[in-house]
Every structure is written in C-alpha cells, then in structure tokens.
C-alpha cells in the first residue's frame, strides 16, 4: 500500500516561508490520513477521499479556495479513474459544489461519465450535493486587484491498495482568469489516467499537459514495459521540447512511486506507512 498526493505548484505570489510550511504540514497530514483510510478501503475510494481533503483545504486551488475566472465566476473540474476497470468519470466547469471529486466519483457507474457545466451541476443537485460556494475572500481580493497568481494549485492523489489495485483522482479550480468555457486537463486522460499497470495525476498548465498527452503517455509507456522512471523521463523530455509547464505523480503496479516536474516547485507528499517524502 502506498500513496502519493500533490497540491500543484508554488506560484510567484505565495513563495513565503509560512505558506510553504503550511503546505508541507497539510500534505503530510493528508497523506497520513489517506494512508490510514487505505488500510480498510480500495485505492479507488481512497483517492477520492484524499482529494476531498485537499479540496477542503483553502491552501489549494481546488474546491474551497479555487481560482476565479475572468468573468468573476468559479468553475471547477475533477476526475477519477479506476485502474482495475479502466473507467474514468469526471466533471468539467462545475459551479457551487463543495467537493467536485465526489460528483466525479458518483458518475463512475453511469453510461455518461463526464459531464460539463450546467449538466454537471444539475446531476450533482439531483444526487444530493448541496449548493456550496467555494470562494474565499483572498481569491476575490486577488481577482479584484486583477492579480492572476497563475492557478497552479491543482490537487491529485494516486494510490495502490493491498490488492495491488491502482487508482487516481485530480481536482482543480483552473488557471485563474481564464476565458469562461476553457477546459483544463484535469478531467481528461492527459491530466488523470490509470490502468492496471500504472496511475498518474498531473498539475501545471493544462494546455501544455494536454498537448503532451502527459498522464496517458506515461501510463502507456509503463504498460508497454518501460520502467516508471524512464517513462516519466521520456515524457518530460517531450514536454520540455514544447517548453511545457507541468508536474506529475505516479505509482506502478509493483508499488514504485515517482514524481517529476518541468519547473522544480511541485508541492507533493508520499507515504508508505513507514517513510514520508515531502517536497522541500
Ligand atoms: N492543470 C490546471 C489547469 O490547467 C491548473 C493547475 O494544475 O494548477 O487548469
């Protein structure tokens, strides 16, 4: 059993020592809680749980604390993928729900598994998700000051459970100040992908992640026999060639855990019950 989580990147405006320490402590705490949960739950249930804890923490740009788009509205996206069944479900540009990842999870048993905008919100309401504003005053202040801190606080989790099953979930408030209607990478196979061999979650500039097909490429390479580390290395070399800004976390079916970023400021933590690795 192993778990790795990310909380996006440090952006220029939150490089302070306090924010860094707060993120280190919060990631460590969430990784530990999620690992406890993994003792008695599947990887699939655990990644949703871990991402919901990250969504609930206003330090990150997902759920509570999400970025505001150019028209003053928050629209969030999230996806989950079960490596065993190879099913992905997700919501794109959903408004006013506390935990987009749980709406994504509820969709896994539907025939129509990725919903956008009003349809996603309608589905959430019909499935008992209350109206909830995820706006925090700091984001409104940044928005009003036309301060785009560049998003880069997407959250994600990859887990392998005691049966060797893999799963991944990813959730984002987007880049901030985006044109309404923009679709981020998080609820696509470029940002969030898993099968029985490997699972990967990405953060960074969604357009770069999609252009490079990042998560799907890493997983496919591992499926075809490449080691996790080599698959990350090759995929990030390709990302670098297009000057892409991204980071990713992954686990393979042998329990190898890996992370890489094209700008070394990704915020992450991993835990295997004994050993913590936290970004520094
Ligand atoms: N990938 C997200 C997006 O482009 C942003 C992020 O990772 O912070 O919407």
Any known ligand binding at 185?
Answer: yes
> Alpha-carbon distance 47 to 170, whole Å?
9
If we measure between CA atoms, which residue out of 121, 62, 114 comes closest to residue 91?
A: 114
| Ligand 1 atom nearest 77 alpha carbon | 9
For residue 211, give Cα distances in angstroms to 31, 32, 74, 91, 206: 30, 34, 24, 20, 8
* The pLDDT value given to residue 151: 55
> Alpha-carbon distance 74 to 94, whole Å?
8
> Alpha-carbon distance 247 to 4, whole Å?
13
In the block, residue with structure tokens 């959903």: 94
154 lines ligand 1 (CB under 6 A): yes
Which run of H or E residues covers position 145? none
Ligand 1 center to 261 CA (angstroms): 13
pLDDT in tens, the chain (280 residues): 999 999 998 765 566 888 889 999 999 999 999 999 999 999 999 999 999 999 999 999 999 999 999 999 999 999 999 999 999 999 999 999 999 999 999 999 999 999 999 999 999 999 999 999 999 998 898 888 876 555 567 999 999 999 999 999 999 999 889 999 999 999 999 999 999 999 999 999 999 999 999 999 999 999 999 999 999 999 999 999 999 999 999 999 999 999 999 987 899 999 999 999 999 8
DSSP 109: G
In three-state secondary structure terms, 226 is coil
Q: What are the structure tokens assigned to 6, written together?
A: 């990310």
If we measure between CA atoms, which residue out of 195, 182, 183, 232 comes closest to residue 212?
A: 232
Strands (DSSP E) found in 144-238: 155-160, 166-172, 192-194, 198-204
The CATH code for residues 2-278 is: 3.60.20.30
Any known ligand binding at 205?
Answer: yes
| Ligand 1 atom nearest 246 alpha carbon | 7
Question: Residues with catalytic annotation?
Answer: 154
How is the chain split into domains, by residue range? 2-278
CA atoms within 13 A on the CB side of 59: 23
Pocket test for ligand 1, best of 93, 151, 212 (most atoms within 8 A of CB): 151
172 lines ligand 1 (CB under 6 A): yes
176 lines ligand 1 (CB under 6 A): no
Pocket test for ligand 1, best of 67, 74, 174, 268 (most atoms within 8 A of CB): 174
| Ligand 1 atom nearest 184 alpha carbon | 9
* The pLDDT value given to residue 150: 55
* The pLDDT value given to residue 13: 57
Report whether 75 contacts 39 (CB < 8 A).
Answer: no
Which run of H or E residues covers position 80? strand 76-82
List CB contacts of 127: < 8 A, sequence separation 6 or more.
Answer: 103, 106
For residue 217, give Cα distances in angstroms to 72, 113, 137, 139, 253: 35, 22, 38, 34, 16
- Angle at CA of residue 178, ends 76 and 235, nearest 5°: 80
Ligand 1, atom 6, lies closest to the CA of 152
> Alpha-carbon distance 220 to 88, whole Å?
15
> Alpha-carbon distance 8 to 118, whole Å?
26
List CB contacts of 253: < 8 A, sequence separation 6 or more.
Answer: 160, 164, 166, 196, 197, 198
If we measure between CA atoms, which residue out of 37, 9, 33, 266 comes closest to residue 151?
A: 9
């Amino acid at each position: 059993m192993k778990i790795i989580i990310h909380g996006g990147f440090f952006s220029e405006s939150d490089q302070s020592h306090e924010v860094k320490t707060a993120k280190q402590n919060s990631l460590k705490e969430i990784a530990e809680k999620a690992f406890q949960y993994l003792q008695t739950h599947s990887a699939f249930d655990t990644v949703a749980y871990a991402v919901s804890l990250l969504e609930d923490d206003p330090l990150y740009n997902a759920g509570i604390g999400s970025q505001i788009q150019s028209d003053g509205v928050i629209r969030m996206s999230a996806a989950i993928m079960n490596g065993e069944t190879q099913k992905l479900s997700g919501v794109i540009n959903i408004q006013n729900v506390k935990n987009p990842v749980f709406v994504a999870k509820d969709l896994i048993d539907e025939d129509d598994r990725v919903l956008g905008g009003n349809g996603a919100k309608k589905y959430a309401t019909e499935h008992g998700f209350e109206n909830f504003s995820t706006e925090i005053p700091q984001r409104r202040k940044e928005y009003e000051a036309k301060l785009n801190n560049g998003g880069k606080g997407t959250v994600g989790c990859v887990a392998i459970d005691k049966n060797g099953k893999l799963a991944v979930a990813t959730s984002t408030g987007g880049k901030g100040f985006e044109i309404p209607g923009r679709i981020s990478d998080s609820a696509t196979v470029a940002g969030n992908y898993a099968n029985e061999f490997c699972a990967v979650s990405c953060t960074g500039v969604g357009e770069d992640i999609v252009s490079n097909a990042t998560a799907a490429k890493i997983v496919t390479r591992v499926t075809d026999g490449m080691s996790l580390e080599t698959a990350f290395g090759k995929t990030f070399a390709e990302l670098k060639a297009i000057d892409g800004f991204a980071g990713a976390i992954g686990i393979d079916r042998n329990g190898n855990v890996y992370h890489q970023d094209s700008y070394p400021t990704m915020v992450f933590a991993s835990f295997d019950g004994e050993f913590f690795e936290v970004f520094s």
